[in-house]
Amino acid sequence: MTLPDLECLSLSKTFGGFTAVEDVSFAVPPSSFFSILGPSGCGKTTIMRMIAGFLDPTSGDIRIKGRSILQTPPNKRPVNMVFQHLALFPMMNVADNIGYGLRRKGVPRPEIDRRVGEVLERISLPDAGRRRVDELSGGQKQRIAIARCIVLEPDVLLLDEPLGALDLKLREHMKIELKALQAAFGTTFVYITHDQSEALVMSDQIAVMNHGKFEQVASAAELYYRPATSFVAGFVGDNNRWRGTLTRAEGDELQLTTDAGLVMTGAQHGRGLRPGDKAEIFVRPEAIRIARAAADIKGFDNRLSGKVTSTLFNGAASRVLLRPDGSHDEIQVALPQSGEFADLGRGDDVHVGWNAAQANVFPANDEAG
């Protein structure tokens, strides 16, 4: 088995009485794209700064290719960081920015020029070397900031929400470009973000973080379909969420009566819930089938009929809100864009259904996701 490029072992950091990072362990295999996803203030930046060397962990160890780097100062670590606001050196031109690290390593001048030229070629900005940093567009700055690190051939490249300052269109474009750059250079990327779509699109592995702890480390698809905790279920993707009491448990299948009186079935995926437990059930709007006739949904475990309360048009992500008969809960359902529901309006009768396996049930947690 090859050694992981980056390994954190029981990493903790406290500031005074506040625990920012608590007993976090993870390993990042070579040449992979690893993301840490969490709301602001969850401790993800603290982890990143500890890896970069700007903070010392209170306890635990950080290893790069099997060797502890805790005693290594930041300027000697085989780790480089792309900062949130990029932190390009405004007093230098593009080539000097990229060559900075090589100059510090004492690489001879012709060698620096050659390697800077090569990396500029690879980020498709071959003629940008003599330009000033403030003449570049947001996307170009982004690529320069990455090139400035990659030219040093670090074992691990840390990226601290580098897309946060870009506008939506450019951000979508840069997601694809970052992933392509990572594949092209084969460098291990550790990426932190609060934007789930950035993490889902780019990463091989994602760690979801909340209150200083990792809630789940898994692939994007696994996080989406099999969230391990109610926090993950609530944070990753959209979800319908109901609280209620379990009334029946048979194998993996659970029956739950919501506080508003709806009865529905869901899957517990080995979480050991028992009848009588308070629980929460999560169903994705896109896992719910919508139909005009009751007969169309008779194959589903859960079936409800109700009236449309409003339609939320958002292009491909359009939703419809409906209220089941005899309840005041609201259900969000994704609207298929095949055209058959284009004329759906407020007050129309519709039928919805979903399978128990698509509904995740978790022990009730007072903490809001």
Partner 1 sequence: MQTGARIGFILLFAPLLLWLGLLIVIPHIDLFLLSLRERIGVGEYRTSLANYIAFFGEPLYLVTFMRTAIMSVLATVLTLIIGFPVAFYIAKFAKGRAQSVLFLLCLVPFWVSELVRTFGWMILLRETGIFSELLQWSGLVDGPVEMLYNDAAMMVGLVYTSMLFMIVPLITTLESLDDSVIEAGYDLGGTGPSVLREIVIPHAMPGIVSGSIVVFMLSLGNYLTPTMLGGKDSLWFTEMIYAQFIVRFNWELGAAFGFMLLILSSLIVWAMLRLTGQTLEKTMG
Give the residues lining the site for partner 1 (CB under 8 A): 52-54, 73-76, 79-81, 83-85, 87-92, 100-101, 104-105, 148-149, 152
Closest CB 326 distance from partner 1, rounded Å: 57
281 contacts 300 by C-beta, under 8 angstroms: no
CA–centroid distance for 291 within its chain = 32
- Choice between 52 and 233, CB closer to partner 1: 52
**Contacts within 8 Å (CB) and 24+ apart, 202-205:** 202/33, 202/35, 202/175, 202/178, 203/33, 203/34, 203/35, 204/32, 204/33, 204/34, 205/28, 205/32, 205/33, 205/34, 205/35
What is the rounded distance in angstroms from the CA atom of residue 98 to the CA atom of residue 103?
10
Closest CB 77 distance from partner 1, rounded Å: 8
- Choice between 1 and 91, CB closer to partner 1: 91
Q: Is the dihedral of CA 232, 234, 240, 242 positive or negative?
A: positive
Closest CB 161 distance from partner 1, rounded Å: 12
Closest CB 149 distance from partner 1, rounded Å: 7
- Choice between 103 and 346, CB closer to partner 1: 103
- Choice between 55 and 228, CB closer to partner 1: 55
CA-closest candidate to residue 12, choices 61, 70, 49, 78: 61
- Choice between 76 and 298, CB closer to partner 1: 76
Closest CB 83 distance from partner 1, rounded Å: 4
3-state secondary structure of 235: helix
Closest CB 131 distance from partner 1, rounded Å: 17
Closest CB 87 distance from partner 1, rounded Å: 4
- Choice between 49 and 351, CB closer to partner 1: 49
- Choice between 83 and 225, CB closer to partner 1: 83
CA-closest candidate to residue 27, choices 11, 12, 42, 44: 11
What is the rounded distance in angstroms from the CA atom of residue 275 to the CA atom of residue 279?
10
Question: Strand ranges (DSSP E) for 111-239?
Answer: 156-160, 188-193, 205-210, 213-218
